[in-house]
Amino acid sequence: MRSWTGVRRALAAGIVVAVLAGAPQAASVVAPTFEAMLARAQAVFVGETLDVRSRWVSTSSGRAIVTVVTFKVLHTLKGELGGQTQLEFLGGTVGEYRMEVPGIPRFRVGDEDVLFVDERGQPVSPVVGFMHGRFRVLEDPGTGRRSVARHDFEPLARVADIGAATSPARVSSARALTLERFEDEIVRAVRRQREAR
Amino acid sequence: MRRIILLSFVLVAAAAGASQSYWINGPSWPSGSVPVHIELGSSPALIDGCADWSCSASGAVDRWNLFMGRIQLQAVQHSTQTNGELNGRNDMFFAADMYGKAFGQDTLALTTWWFRNDRLVEADIGFNSSKKWDSYRGTTRPGAVYDLRRVALHELGHVLGLGHPNDHGQTVVAMMNGTIGNLDSLTVDDIAGIQELYGALGGDTGGSAGGGSGSVINFPPRNETYEFRGWLESTYANTLGRPAGLSYSDVEGSVVWVQEYLRYRLNACSHEEAVERVRIQIAGGGVPGVCGAAASVIAFPPRNETYGFRLQLEEFYRVDLARAAVKTSVDAEGDVVWIQEYLRYRLTGCTHAQSIDKVRQQIEGRGLPAACR
């Protein structure tokens, strides 16, 4: 079998094709649509990370580590927020201990994001859809154009692509939604949902 | 304000795309056995025939174990331990929250890793008890009932040290991606990732017994089976006038892997064991040994099982390997029925030419020729 190189070569080629053309799919989190994400969010804002701090907490089943992230609120698109807000995530590092939750959003001071937030029930991740409600703000160093990408840095072309059943075609960041356009889409959708109630 | 600069990201993404796509989180487990306490409680009978959650979850444990060399997960079934953070035990449980924190509406399950001085010391898996669960294969049923086994497969991948490839700007078909889909088994990428961490399960060089001490059934050289398959293609197209259809598994693939599947079946492997062993081979994980000594009388598996394997192979080529469809006049059923018949004659004393002739008689409706011994 090992010497059957024809099949091996074909499989290797297939793997390359899969890497290039395959769509992410597997388990654990259901990706919400844009409308569902917005409906569920208590607040949506554009924020800059100012501070990231971890600490021990006591829980009913033992000790755990949480990380509190402080944001400067640049624009509020839904809900009511002051000039700063804090969000608490499960996991972090304190001394010699590190607790991690795979997939949970991690923030660094200076990050700029659009965040859909739901803190009801003190969730593991207050970002709606665990990580899906985090959109990164990217800036083209040449043109200064500011565009939006998903949590995984995949450029976002349309809000309809969020939570779509089939993976949308990949686009370059030059064709991604601008931050201004994304904010506008959110504000209009918030108004639409409010009027529908 | 530090904004993320696009250019550097594009370069990183391009570099990552050129390599493997799996994502290794960091420290892995030391060599040996890694116990996982399955504390999922009782359940009604499950769709896939499992009697309870423990069976479904340990099925996921078994799948990972097939591909790892340096460590093995040890499923502690029906454990009555109480889960807790930093208790030194790897717990798997249902809960309404994860250590005081709500799962959130979109989260089915979570894993938590604990490291001390950068050494992995504990990993716990919590399943969201507010969701409806069962255990089944095939298309997932979001909004209705979720398949515990595939979610356990994903979370166990985390326990072993794998992260989400798609969280790191990579696009690949993998159980370890972070969003639910229709995959219900490990892919080439998942297996490559786990084998980078722990090596491959030790295998022999193929064709010899790995699990038994008795006699082993040896198959004809693959080039002869391949030649038979070429003859079959010609017969279907020219003699029977069958139009060309589409298949994702090419001729080489179906000959090699159907023959391998049958080799395992005739050497004491169950259907599932044979499918997994072929999958390991396709993923480049070596050639696992057979399951034991062959029976004294050669008994091929029921055709529906070989056909079932062939359909899985088709899906594997289509989804995992993203292969383009190729034209063939032999449909998947004809493929397995006649390859199996050819091999049956070969293993019962017929030469290559005699075997083709006996299959020809069957295809022409001239009865069922006897074996050669």
What is residue A70's three-state secondary structure?
Answer: strand
CB contact under 8 A, B1 and A29: no
Residue B109 and residue B234 share a domain: no
CB contact under 8 A, B101 and A122: yes
Q: Taking all residues of chain A, what is their mean pLDDT, rounded to a whole number?
A: 84
| pLDDT at A25 (0 to 100) | 39
CB-based contact (8 Å) between A57 and chain B?
A: yes
Within a domain: B317:
yes
| pLDDT at A86 (0 to 100) | 98
Q: How confident is the model at residue A167 (pLDDT cuts 50, 70, 90)?
A: low
Q: Give the rounded distance of the alpha carbon of A38 from its chain centre.
A: 13
Q: Which residues pair with A49 in a beta bridge?
A: A71
**What's the whole-number mean pLDDT along residues A91-100?**
95
- One-letter amino acid for residue B288 of the chain: P
Residue B179 and residue B63 share a domain: yes
What range does the domain containing B37 cover?
21-198
- The H-assigned helical ranges of chain B are 6-17, 53-65, 148-160, 188-198, 222-234, 251-266, 271-282, 303-315, 332-347, 352-363
CB contact under 8 A, B85 and A170: no
Residue B194 and residue B227 share a domain: no
CATH number at residue B179: 3.40.390.10
Q: Which of A146, A138, A139, A117 is nearest to A129 (CA)?
A: A117
The number of distinct structural domains making up chain B is 2
Class of residue B187 by CB neighbours under 10 A (exposed 0-12, middle 13-18, buried 19+): buried
Residues with Cβ within 8 Å of residue B132, at least 6 apart in sequence: B144, B145, B146
CB contact under 8 A, B104 and A130: yes
For residue B95, give Cα distances in angstroms to B41, B91, B126.
11, 12, 6
pLDDT tops 60 at residue A104: yes
**Which residues of A, range 66-125, sit inside 8 Å of B by Cβ?**
90-91, 96-103, 108-112, 118, 120-125
Positions of chain B with pLDDT lower than 70, given as ranges: 1-20, 142-143, 169-170, 180, 202-216, 284-285
Residue B100 and residue B51 share a domain: yes
- The answer to whether the beta carbons of residues B53 and B148 sit under 8 Å apart is yes
CATH classification number, A28-196, choose in 3.90.1150.140, 3.30.565.10, 2.40.50.180, 2.40.50.120: 2.40.50.120
| pLDDT at A141 (0 to 100) | 85
Q: Alpha-carbon distance A121 to B196, whole Å?
A: 39
Residue B239 and residue B95 share a domain: no
| pLDDT at B33 (0 to 100) | 95
Q: Alpha-carbon distance B258 to B264, whole Å?
A: 10
Residue B194 and residue B47 share a domain: yes
Global pTM reads: 0.70
CB-based contact (8 Å) between B84 and chain A?
A: yes
Apex CA A97: angle with CA A92 and CA A98, to 5°?
Answer: 35
Please state at what angle helix B188-198 crosses helix B148-160, rounded to 10 degrees.
30
**Which residues of A, range 139-168, sit inside 8 Å of B by Cβ?**
139-142, 146-147, 151-154
| pLDDT at B100 (0 to 100) | 86
| pLDDT at B216 (0 to 100) | 65
| pLDDT at A178 (0 to 100) | 96
CB contact under 8 A, B114 and A122: no
More confident residue, B207 or A107: A107
| pLDDT at A23 (0 to 100) | 33
| pLDDT at B202 (0 to 100) | 60
**Which residues of B, range 41-60, sit inside 8 Å of A by Cβ?**
none
> Could you tell me the two tokens for B180?
């639910």
Looking at chain A, which residue has its C-alpha nearest residue B206? Answer: A1
Q: How confident is the model at residue A90 (pLDDT cuts 50, 70, 90)?
A: very high
Residue B262 and residue B136 share a domain: no
**Cβ neighbours of B83 in A, within 8 Å:** 61
More confident residue, A18 or B20: B20
More confident residue, B3 or A68: A68
Q: Alpha-carbon distance B359 to B227, whole Å?
A: 13
HSE at residue B254, side-chain half, CA atoms within 13 A, is: 32
Residue B135 and residue B46 share a domain: yes
| pLDDT at A2 (0 to 100) | 26
Within a domain: B217:
no
CB-based contact (8 Å) between B300 and chain A?
A: no
Answer with the one of B148, B182, B198 that is the final residue of a domain: B198
Kindly list the domain boundaries of chain A, sorted by start residue: 28-196
**ipTM exceeding 0.95, yes/no:** no
CB-based contact (8 Å) between B164 and chain A?
A: yes
Within a domain: B204:
no
| pLDDT at B214 (0 to 100) | 42
Residue B57 and residue B190 share a domain: yes
| pLDDT at A165 (0 to 100) | 66
Residue B233 and residue B137 share a domain: no
| pLDDT at B215 (0 to 100) | 58
Residue B318 and residue B265 share a domain: yes
Within a domain: B171:
yes
Within a domain: B127:
yes
Q: Is the dihedral of CA B323, B328, B331, B334 positive or negative?
A: negative
pLDDT tops 90 at residue A97: yes
**Burial letters B98-129, b for 16+ CB under 10 A, else e:** bbbbbbbbbbbbbbbbbbeeeebbbbbbbbbe
Residue B187 and residue B106 share a domain: yes
| pLDDT at B133 (0 to 100) | 93
HSE at residue B171, side-chain half, CA atoms within 13 A, is: 18
